[in-house]
Structure 1
Amino acid sequence: MFELIKPGTNFDFVGKNKFFVTLSGILVLASLIVIFTTGLNFGIDFSGGTEIHLKFDKPVSTEQIRGIVEKSGYTKANILTIGSEQKEYVIRVAEFASLKESDVQNIKNTIINEYGKDRIKKLKFSGESGDKIEVKFSEEIDISKLKEFLIGKGIECIDVKREGKTTEFQYLIILAGISKKLQESLEKEISGIKVEIIGVDAVGPQVGKDLRTSGLLAAIYSLLAITIYVAFRFDFRFAPGAFLSLLHDGLITLGVLTLLRFEFDMTGLAAIMTLLGYSINDTIVVYDRVRENL
């Protein structure tokens, strides 16, 4: 029977603790420098952007779509295939303006004239995109009526959503700018094809900021909860080691993700939390062995 490591083999890891501690310290320090100087490459979930669900009447390759999307000016688009027929795709793009300055001002004036300047506490186009409008009212309004009003005025409004805190009357108006532009580009570049917009979803800058804060707090609370659990389950002397091991694994992983410019979104956060779970599991196994020999 093939055995990679023979029974009774002992590795003196503890005897080389100075080397491994130094190596870990260097890697953690390098990770911190990369994270704070370069910054994480936040995805749409954390930075804001638009997600467009499209359906084609004929099969289209991802490469075809990517080429047309990049040609339209969306160089950092994320394209996902739905199903195996290559007819449905989800395209995620960062925020880009697709409206002229005159269009922007016209929409602003239309909203102000209808609802009154006194009732509007904030009115701005989010980030660099003229396709999403953030409006904050002094009181709650009917979302469906706002959408109907905008469409009635000839403004291509796809959806209106409430965002921010429940105590605030803040709304996100999603216009047809980006989705319409991509639909027209795809139908123009691929002859004889029809593109249907199934849905458009957007993450406003405020929501993205809230998600980043919530994700950071979730990670901190998890670390504290694990540290408290280890302290009571084993020994108070073991808790700092568990905490440091989690920081070590998490920071080095984030450093690698930052260095390679991988997109960090909700999926990435879930992956980091999963990694921390496996990390503490291994730490607890080691602590069990240590306790048996105390």
Structure 2
Amino acid sequence: MAFKIGNIQVFPHNYFFDFMKWRKVTVGISIVLVAVSLLIIGIKGLNYSIDFLGGAEIQVNVLNKSITREQLHEAVGKAGINHAEITTYGSLAARKDNSESYIVRMQREKGQDESATTNRADKLVSSLKAEFGAEKIQIASITNISGKVGKEDEYKGYMALLLSCIGILIYIAFRFDSRFAPGAVLCLVHNVVIALGVMTLFGRPFTTVSIAAFLTIVGYSINDTVIVYDRIRETRSLQPKMSMIDVVNRSISQTMNRTILTSTTGILALLVLSILGGGSIEDFAITMLVGIVVGTYSSIYVAAPLTLMMDGYLNKLGWKKKDAKELAKEVRPKDYAPPINVRKKVPQDKK
């Protein structure tokens, strides 16, 4: 196995590995992971944030920066507020009195109404004043947040995921073959469910940013899958007598460099955001990090095996697949040049 730092070559030019040898095992592992993820989501439930449940937002002005964000967070915890977000508010450069402002977002507890949330906010304000003193902090505003807008965003997010999967199913069926479409869509469902299960397991908040992250995972995953599918179609046109399982193995092997390097680049960037991002950026980065890892795995060990299964099933039903000549017309442009390893050498006397 080759590895170079210059030009960043990871696998040799003629790299080949029998990926489909383990397809039954990998598909079984994926089924187990999806089932476990659904079980975790069903038992623990999604950790909805204030975006969906509603709550209260309190602007706290700290005079002379005598109180840090960590101290404020500890004081909120002592007051019995478990689900609270504390973020810096406003521009530091615009303040001439050397003060600091924070927004404390207090999530509404399940089963409580708006009046109960208001009472909890008032108790939190009294507790903060007693902890730090009224001369060191000022409460600029207390605002109630409704969860109705969040519910609408949640519905729209789910509809966006559903419509995107339907659109991808139709596109793959027309662009490639009906054998490819189910594997691509099930691969997307597999990635989103596992990512959602991991986030639920670790208690990460489910926000409107999380919906954006899942939609990004869908786009990233289908891009990786389409690269593999396109190489499968191209290999079939170049090697029409090769068995489908060999075509899939060879195509995945040829795209491994691209898959590993692209995924590694994304993972490194998301690791930095996960550690240093904070707030909603951290939630987005962690969700995407899980999605990229699972998506890279599924494009090889979920989408491709499902395509083989569909190919065998449709062949039994007598569903005629596209002829190699038809594929060649679709794949090869007029100025198409085959890969170097399949080109015929021209004798010197005929040049």
The question of a shared fold, defined as TM-score above 0.5 by the shorter chain, is answered with yes
1:263-278 mapped onto 2 (5 Å cutoff): 263-278=205-220
Instruction: Tell me the CA shift for residue 8 of structure 1.
Output: 2.1
Q: Report the secondary structure of 1:58's partner residue.
A: helix
CA contact (8 A) 1:48 1:207 kept: no
1:127 corresponds to: 112
Q: Using the alignment, how far apart are the partners of 1:50 and 1:220 within structure 2?
A: 32
Residues 96-144 of structure 1 show CA distances to partners (whole Å, capped at 9, x for unaligned) of: 69xxxxxxxxxxxxxxxxxxxxxxxxxxxx8344157xxxxxxxxxxxx
Q: Report the secondary structure of 1:73's partner residue.
A: coil
Instruction: Tell me the CA shift for residue 241 of structure 1.
Output: 1.1
From the superposition, tell whether residues 41 and 96 of structure 1 become closer, same or farther in structure 2 (CA, over 3 Å): closer
1:51-90 mapped onto 2 (5 Å cutoff): 51-59=57-65, 60-82=67-89, 87-90=100-103
Instruction: Tell me the CA shift for residue 74 of structure 1.
Output: 0.9
**What letter is aligned with 1:202?**
I
Return the match for 1:13 from 9, 12, 19. 19
| 2:36 pairs with 1:30 | yes
Identity across the alignment (%): 37
CA contact (8 A) 1:51 1:93 kept: yes
**What letter is aligned with 1:10?**
F
Q: Using the alignment, how far apart are the partners of 1:44 and 1:237 within structure 2?
A: 43
**What letter is aligned with 1:79?**
I
From the superposition, tell whether residues 45 and 7 of structure 1 become closer, same or farther in structure 2 (CA, over 3 Å): same
**What letter is aligned with 1:40?**
L
Residues 40-71 of structure 1 show CA distances to partners (whole Å, capped at 9, x for unaligned) of: 11111122222333332232322211122122
1:94 corresponds to: 107
CA contact (8 A) 1:47 1:208 kept: yes
**What letter is aligned with 1:19?**
V
Residues 123-182 of structure 1 show CA distances to partners (whole Å, capped at 9, x for unaligned) of: xxx8344157xxxxxxxxxxxxxxxxxxxxxxxxxxxxxxxxxxxxxxxxxx6x455443
Return the match for 1:254 from 167, 192, 196. 196
Q: Report the secondary structure of 1:42's partner residue.
A: coil
Give the structure with higher Rg (CA). Answer: 2
CA contact (8 A) 1:179 1:200 kept: no
CA contact (8 A) 1:183 1:195 kept: no
CA contact (8 A) 1:179 1:197 kept: no
Q: Report the secondary structure of 1:130's partner residue.
A: helix
1:193-272 mapped onto 2 (5 Å cutoff): 193-198=136-141, 200-204=143-147, 206-272=148-214
**What letter is aligned with 1:80?**
T
Q: Normalized per residue, which structure has more strand? A: 1
Q: Report the secondary structure of 2:64's partner residue.
A: coil
CA contact (8 A) 1:50 1:201 kept: yes
Residues 162-211 of structure 1 show CA distances to partners (whole Å, capped at 9, x for unaligned) of: xxxxxxxxxxxxx6x4554433332331144132425625023x444333
Instruction: Tell me the CA shift for residue 221 of structure 1.
Output: 1.6
Return the match for 1:282 from 210, 217, 224. 224
Q: Using the alignment, how far apart are the partners of 1:87 and 1:178 within structure 2?
A: 24
Q: Using the alignment, how far apart are the partners of 1:212 and 1:279 within structure 2?
A: 22
| TM-score, scaled to structure 1 | 0.67
Q: Report the secondary structure of 2:103's partner residue.
A: strand
From the superposition, tell whether residues 52 and 215 of structure 1 become closer, same or farther in structure 2 (CA, over 3 Å): farther
CA contact (8 A) 1:96 1:129 kept: no
- The count of residues paired between Structure 1 and Structure 2 equals 222
- Of stretches 81-90 and 67-76 in structure 1, the one that deviates more from structure 2 is 81-90
Q: Using the alignment, how far apart are the partners of 2:31 and 2:109 within structure 1?
A: 41
Instruction: Tell me the CA shift for residue 21 of structure 1.
Output: 0.8
Residues 226-268 of structure 1 show CA distances to partners (whole Å, capped at 9, x for unaligned) of: 2222222222322111110100100110110111111111111
Gapped regions of structure 1 (runs ≥ 5): 98-125, 133-174
**What letter is aligned with 1:282?**
D
1:43 corresponds to: 49
Q: Normalized per residue, which structure has more helix? A: 2
